């Protein structure tokens, strides 16, 4: 994925990652770029300034930042005690929301709540209340639990 106007140069190259995840690629070295947050100068081979060289940021707990590969996800997950945790990469839990943007896992709206559903599945809920109910079915005088 390259921005419009992408120009491939055959000499020294660079990659830059801006706060809004604007990535620019071109010729030269990092010392010529003044408003960079990350920049990598590469010299090995042609077309070495690929997007996999720069990282996007994800939020972690306590508003810290972690770095993940350009095409990897950020996540927000709800713990069993209803806490919200955030991090980089693929979320290892079922109660997660993943996103692909730069610093995209910021809580602009509350993370969903989760309750157990039928056969132990996880149901996404808008509120923190969950229920469990015992249902009695009567069939010809026999009660099923």
Domain hosting 107: range is: 55-122
pLDDT tens figures, 26-72: 888 888 777 777 788 888 777 888 877 888 899 998 889 999 988 89
Residues 6+ apart with CB under 8 A from 112: 78, 97, 124, 125, 126
Give the pLDDT band (50/70/90) at residue 141.
Answer: low
pLDDT tens figures, 82-131: 888 999 999 888 888 899 888 898 876 677 888 888 887 888 888 888 88
Query: Look-up: residue for tokens 């990469």?
Result: 89
One domain, residues 48 and 62 = no
One domain, residues 94 and 108 = yes
**pTM of the shown model:** 0.62
One domain, residues 67 and 45 = no
Examine residue 6 and state whether it is found in any structural domain, yes or no: no
pLDDT (0 to 100) of residue 144: 58
One domain, residues 104 and 79 = yes
Examine residue 33 and state whether it is found in any structural domain, yes or no: yes
pLDDT (0 to 100) of residue 35: 72
One domain, residues 82 and 107 = yes
Q: What CATH number has the domain bearing residue 86?
A: 2.10.60
């Amino acid at each position: 994925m390259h921005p419009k106007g992408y120009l491939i140069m055959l000499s020294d190259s660079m990659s830059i990652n801006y706060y809004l995840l604007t990535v620019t690629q071109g010729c030269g070295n990092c010392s010529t770029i003044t408003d960079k947050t990350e920049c990598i100068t590469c010299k090995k081979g042609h077309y070495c300034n690929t997007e996999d060289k720069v990282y996007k940021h994800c939020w972690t707990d306590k508003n810290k930042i972690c770095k993940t590969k350009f095409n990897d996800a950020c996540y927000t997950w709800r713990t069993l005690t209803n806490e919200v945790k955030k991090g980089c990469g693929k979320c290892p839990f079922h109660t997660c929301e993943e996103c692909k943007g730069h610093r995209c896992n910021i809580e602009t709206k509350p993370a969903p709540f989760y309750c157990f559903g039928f056969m132990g599945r996880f149901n996404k809920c808008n509120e923190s209340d969950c229920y469990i109910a015992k249902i009695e079915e009567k069939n010809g005088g026999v009660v099923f639990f």
